[in-house]
């Protein structure tokens, strides 16, 4: 699973990409509806993305997974290497531990941003476009020709 989040002009998007052992790609993007008064920081958005990916994987019955992200801070928190000192991040860290505890094997790997481009682009897209709530967007098909 790859995850990322983006913040743009008081708009927030997150995305995950699950890749099956057979090579099937399952992308998911979400525009977060934080109010303008919510002082969101970039790492909260990254936590939201990781949580989304773990929850989707559990819904699909996945119990073993490797997680890739470009947020060194979030990954170090999750792995227990660093303490979560920022008061705003503590609830996200505590909540993330709930789905993470349901996996049989969960490994985390830090990636350079350049190797996390697909989810970076999807989260940026989700943060920038306005889609009315009553509109259903069909799955995005990307092909090489």
User: pLDDT, tens digit, for every residue of 5-29?
Assistant: 998 877 899 999 999 999 999 999 9
Residue 31: closest CA among 50, 68, 55, 5: 5
In this prediction, residues 32-56 reach a mean pLDDT of 86
Please answer whether residues 116 and 109 qualify as being in contact, where contact means their C-beta atoms are separated by less than 8 angstroms. Answer: no
Per-residue pLDDT for 138 more than 90?
no
All structural domains of the chain, each given as residue ranges with its CATH number in brackets, are 2-128 (3.30.420.10)
- Give residue-wise pLDDT tens across range 64-108: 999 999 999 999 999 989 999 889 999 999 999 999 999 999 999
- Beta-ladder partners of 3: 16, 69
Please answer whether residues 13 and 44 qualify as being in contact, where contact means their C-beta atoms are separated by less than 8 angstroms. Answer: no
CA distance 49 to 31: 10
Question: 128: Cβ–Cβ under 8 A, 6 or more apart, which residues?
Answer: 8, 11, 13
């Amino acid at each position: 699973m790859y995850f990322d989040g983006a913040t743009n002009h008081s708009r927030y998007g997150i995305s995950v990409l699950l890749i099956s052992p057979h090579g099937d790609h399952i992308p998911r993007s979400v525009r977060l509806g934080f109010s303008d008064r919510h002082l969101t920081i970039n790492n909260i958005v990254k936590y939201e993305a990781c949580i989304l990916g773990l929850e989707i994987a559990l819904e699909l019955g996945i119990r073993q997974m490797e997680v890739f992200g470009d947020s060194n801070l979030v990954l170090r928190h999750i792995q227990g290497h660093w303490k979560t000192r920022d008061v705003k991040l503590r609830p996200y860290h505590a909540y993330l531990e709930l789905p993470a505890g349901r996996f049989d094997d969960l490994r985390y790997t830090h990636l350079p941003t350049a190797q996390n481009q697909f989810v970076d682009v999807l989260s940026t897209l989700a943060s920038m476009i306005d889609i009315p709530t009553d509109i259903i967007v069909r799955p995005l098909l990307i092909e090489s020709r």
